[in-house]
Amino acid sequence: MDVISRIKDQIENNPVVLYMKGTPDFPQCGFSGRSVQVLRACKADFTFVNIFEDPELREALKEYSSWPTYPQLYIKGQLVGGCDIILDLYNTGELVKLLQDAEAISA
C-alpha cells in the first residue's frame, strides 16, 4: 500500500485521528502535548499516529493536507487543523460538538 493510500485508510477508518510528534503518553513537542490534553479533556476516543515513526508518511501528509506543521487533527475524514485551531475550537465548545457528531466521546 502506498503512503497516500495508508493516510486515506487511517483517516477514513478512524473517526478521530491525531497525527502528532510522539505518543499521547510521551509527546515530543508542546503543541502535540497540548492537543492531546484537549482531546483528553473532551473525553475523546482518538487514534494517533507518531509521525516520527514514519518519515515517508510525515512528508506525504504535508502535501496531502496542504498543512505544513504538526500536530494535525482529522475528524470524520476532514482536517480540523493544528494545535491553535484545536484550542480555539475547544474554548468555544465547537470541538466537543465535532467529537460528539463523530461519536467519539467516551461516557
What Cα–Cα distance (Å) separates residue 16 from each residue in 9, 75, 92, 98? 12, 5, 19, 10
Look up residue 32 and give its three cell numbers: 502535540
Establish whether 42 is an annotated binding residue: no
95 Cβ contact partners less than 8 Å away, ≥ 6 residues apart: 38, 42, 86, 89
Residue ranges for the known binding site are 29
Residue ranges for the known binding site for [2Fe-2S] cluster are 29
